[in-house]
Amino acid sequence: MSQPLADAVRSLMDRARTDLAELVAFPSVADPRQFPVEECRKAAQWVADAFAAEGLGNIQLLDTPDGTQSVYGELPGPEGAPTVLLYSHYDVQPPLDENAWLSPAFELTERDGRWYGRGAADCKGNILMHLTALRALRQVYGDGYPVGLKIIVEGSEEQGTGGLERYAEAHPELLAADVIVIGDTGNFAPGLPTVTTSLRGMTAVEASVTTLAGNLHSGAFGGAAPDALQSLVRMLASLHDENGDVAVAGLAADQTWEGVRYPEEQFRADAKVVDGVELTGTGTVADRLWARPSVTVLGIDAPPVVGATSSVQAAAKALISLRVPPGMSSDAAQDALVAHLEAQVPLGARLTIQRQGNGAPFRADTGGPAYEAMGEAMAEAFGTPMVTAGEGGSIPLCNTLRSLYPQAEIVLIGVEEPTTQIHAVNESVDPRELERMALAEALFLRRYAELRSS
């Protein structure tokens, strides 16, 4: 263990908490329908100032095509040193039901040893991981860094609007690096150092069903009048078989995961599955999460229970998400989903499909020096060997970066272990994970420079 770096990181944790509290206080949801755009701009400026204070230059607020801003900065390294790009994002998910939070969503609150607040883990905690690693290196070794550095902190990742992707494609020289560290995942379990090597892609469709010119009285017409909501429910039920496996023709649902295992008992606890309720699908939990497609109904437009009338519904709509594993084309998967829905329409109902955007799946190449250096750094920081895991979520930027920089190694790490409840109410981060991950990143930057120079 590099004790001076470990001591430096520990000494910086009070500052990390203070900074995270300032950053969480910005309700930086990149949707002007929900929060003022000024909140995102203030968060972007905070990030720009924070990295400038750690010696990075050429700090820019990049106006991306989707109307948001990404923060960029750079600092050349010693002669012949490799370049490392550090990525994260400052935009956050909406707070959902703010009354369900045990403490205010945008006020960092310590409770039971954890720090609670929207974005505390995803992804403002990862911004502090990057900052704390850099601060520790400067505290121990002076103002320089062992590698050339670039940082890019996105402003619309949660919205999936692709602003940074389009900007990078238009300015391909900007983010070029030997290694890209994506700070937007996390450890498989608290205290278990993990690199994410697989991401599912994502696509979605909006399915609208119409059966009548208008709603009808369910007493006068029910039993013969075709009900659009009932038709939609039947279509949605056909997406899975009796075991809960995806039943869409053309979507293989029998792939297996070869990395770390995910015990069912641990998953049930992480997911807070209600006692007595069975899990969906067959195969191991890791197979289902990381190697196979999954279909989820994200929302249904239908009358709410409160205020509903005795009516046969003339129209109903659903938003359906499809997660796509590596080795499967997102475009082909979306085509298969659309074909399945079209084939399942009952009673000759009128179906309209609106396709949403596609994000391709990702699988990392783990055979290079960056993975060797990260393995050594994580083992040192955590005192246990690094493992690899998949991630059921999607980060479309990874494939954009791979296409622009095919020789770069892409390494996905972060503070978002399963109990952080990202995207849910009462999101939190474990400061011990933040401390260990910051130390791992600092150790990695030094070890990677040494490997590349040897």
Label residue 291 exposed, middle or buried (CB < 10 Å: 0-12, 13-18, 19+). Answer: buried
CB neighbours (10 Å) of residue 112? 6
Residue 111 pairs in a beta bridge with 114
CB neighbours (10 Å) of residue 403? 13
Read off the tokens for 318: 């659903």
> Omega before 123 cis (within 30°)?
yes
Query: What contacts 233, CB < 8 A, 6 or more positions away?
Result: none
Max CA separation in the chain (angstroms)? 83
Query: What contacts 265, CB < 8 A, 6 or more positions away?
Result: none
Look up residue 213 and give its amino acid.
Answer: A
User: Minimal CA–CA distance to 155: which of 22, 31, 34, 25?
Assistant: 31
Q: Which residue matches tokens 């609007």?
A: 161
Helices (H), 312-390: 330-343, 369-382
Label residue 182 exposed, middle or buried (CB < 10 Å: 0-12, 13-18, 19+). Answer: buried
User: Minimal CA–CA distance to 175: which of 424, 411, 409, 401?
Assistant: 401
DSSP state at residue 4: H
C-alpha 219/C-alpha 94 separation (Å) is 41
C-alpha 47/C-alpha 154 separation (Å) is 10
**Options 19, 39, 54, 91, the catalytic residue:** 91
Q: Which residue matches tokens 């070029």?
A: 176
Read off the tokens for 220: 């006068």
Label residue 434 exposed, middle or buried (CB < 10 Å: 0-12, 13-18, 19+). Answer: buried
- Cβ 438 vs Cβ 110: under 8 Å: no
- Three-class secondary structure of residue 135 per DSSP: helix
Read off the tokens for 430: 């474990």
91 included as an active-site residue: yes
**Options 157, 184, 376, 416, the catalytic residue:** 157
User: Minimal CA–CA distance to 131: which of 18, 282, 295?
Assistant: 18
Which residues participate in catalysis according to the annotation?
A: 91, 157
